[in-house]
A and B are shown apart, each in its own frame.
Chain A
Amino acid sequence: MSEPEKKNLAASNDEASFLSRRQFFVKLGAGSLAITGAGATVFAVQYLSPNVLYEPSPIVGVGRPEHFPIDSVTLDPRAAIFVVHAQKGFYAMSSVCTHLGCLTVWRQDEGIIACPCHGSTFRPDGKVIGGPAPRPLQWLKMWIGNDGNLMVDRSANIASESEYVQL
């Protein structure tokens, strides 16, 4: 290899290392920006999610079992739940429509539960009869409290027809 060629090689090596240094800093900068962006996103999501909510307790008492005659469906609008006394026993369902969150109502004369927003209809056991609702109404954990009242935990979902409360 002749002298000039060596020089050229050295020069191009220098250039290559210069470029890679530049590339290194570009990558460093872009990487720092990405990390900052990701961190800011995490902080933003945390900040936007309240840690304490002043929402009512999920556990509600719905009244004494004697108030619900057999084969009756009773809407408790305050708690947004249905209390049903069927042949097999008592159970509770959320009255929140599984479609888009409207509150369903019990239609005594037709014997169905109906949603006023988009026309979903349900049987008293929560099964969908018609309309756009994707799932049956949500069954909720129910028990008899120490004071003899029926209690419902609205945050405790249970499978449909899995539990009945017997007196």
Chain B
Amino acid sequence: MESDLNIKYIAELSRLELSDEQSAKLQQEMERIVGYIDELKELNVDGVEPTAHAAPLSNVWREDEATASYSRQEMLENAPGVINDNLIKLPRVLPQEEA
């Protein structure tokens, strides 16, 4: 399990573009870090409940009431691209149909 760390595959899952040089460096660094965290495997954790969260809270409910939110205009000010002053402009999601 230690040796099959494939940085290019993980970068793909992470949606991170890496240069070949970066990949090589990260591959090396990550192998060392993963080697270090592997020390957890020596510990017997049978029957131990996992901790997801430190606060002793479970479901927190509120009334389902509509309240005013931020204005569309304000939120759009941070968008990289805007259409008609009220929509976020995105790159094409589906491939273009052939004519």
| A, B: real partners | no
